């Protein structure tokens, strides 16, 4: 998934990416948001099996920072996601970073380069020093108007995405039907399903991907799934899908 500092807390927890994303969002949209205002999830809970299962579905797992404008406002979020192997970001590894920018007319453009290491860090620091020496200044956080004139920050519950669910269920008849019925009751349509063995006795792993739905819908469905006797607490993990 990439490199980390000697103390990896900020990198692994997604906080470093969040700080950078908030600066970019302020420049692009005038959003005066703080880390505590946005969704931040790290990669601490990603398992080797998640990486393997993602590949089976045709995805790579990447830690993403997403800032996206819609007619309702701007969503800002940091989290690991399943990225289609067809997307260039799926191929970004090691010290390399990438920023994908999507415009109304130009479509998608991507900026790719090293984001860690002595040379890359030194180059950025020197560039900032030169800007200061020249007296070059921009508006606060780069936004040309007052931050209060920017767009509204959307709640994470309003995020619309596809999702990947890994559910450890009891190995007994009728469990798949109960799971799919629960998702259907929540208005969630299933795209694909796989079943794999589990290391836990008497349990198997159901791997599902969904079509687009709201974050509030998938969270409500997960709570309902936990109440099933065949599922229970601590047996569900969820990741968002970006294609």
Give the active site residues. Answer: 20
Count Cα atoms within 13 angstroms, Cβ side, for 199.
1
Angle CA 49–52–54, to nearest 5 = 105
What is the DSSP code string of 99-151? EEEEETTTEEEEEEEE-SSHHHHHHHHHHHHHHHHHT---SGGG-SS-GGGSP
C-beta of residue 219 within 8 angstroms of C-beta of residue 232: no
C-beta of residue 91 within 8 angstroms of C-beta of residue 112: no
* Close Cβ partners of 41 (under 8 Å, ≥ 6 residues apart): 14, 78, 79, 80
> CA 132, CA 143: separation in Å to the nearest integer?
18
């Amino acid at each position: 998934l990439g490199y980390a500092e000697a103390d990896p807390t900020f990198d692994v927890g997604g906080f470093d990416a969040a700080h950078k994303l908030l600066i970019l969002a302020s420049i692009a949209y005038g959003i005066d948001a703080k880390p505590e205002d946005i969704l931040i999830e790290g990669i601490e809970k990603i398992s080797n099996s998640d990486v393997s299962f993602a590949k089976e579905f045709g995805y790579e797992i990447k830690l993403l920072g997403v800032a996206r404008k819609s007619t309702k406002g701007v969503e800002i979020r940091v989290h690991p996601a399943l990225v289609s192997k067809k997307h260039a970001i799926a191929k970004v590894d090691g010290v390399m970073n990438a920023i994908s920018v999507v415009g109304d007319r130009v479509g998608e453009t991507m900026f790719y380069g090293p984001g860690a290491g002595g040379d890359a860090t030194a180059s950025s620091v020197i560039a900032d020093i030169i800007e200061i020496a020249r007296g070059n200044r921009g508006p606060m956080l780069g936004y040309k108007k007052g931050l209060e004139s920017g767009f509204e920050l959307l709640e994470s519950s309003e995020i619309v995405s596809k999702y990947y669910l890994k559910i450890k269920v009891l190995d007994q008849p009728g469990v798949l039907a109960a799971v799919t019925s629960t998702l259907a009751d929540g208005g969630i349509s299933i795209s694909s399903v796989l079943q794999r063995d589990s290391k836990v006795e008497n349990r198997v792993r159901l791997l599902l991907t969904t079509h687009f739905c709201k974050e509030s819908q998938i969270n409500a469905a997960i709570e309902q799934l936990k109440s099933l006797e065949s599922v229970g607490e601590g047996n569900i993990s969820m990741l968002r899908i970006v294609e």
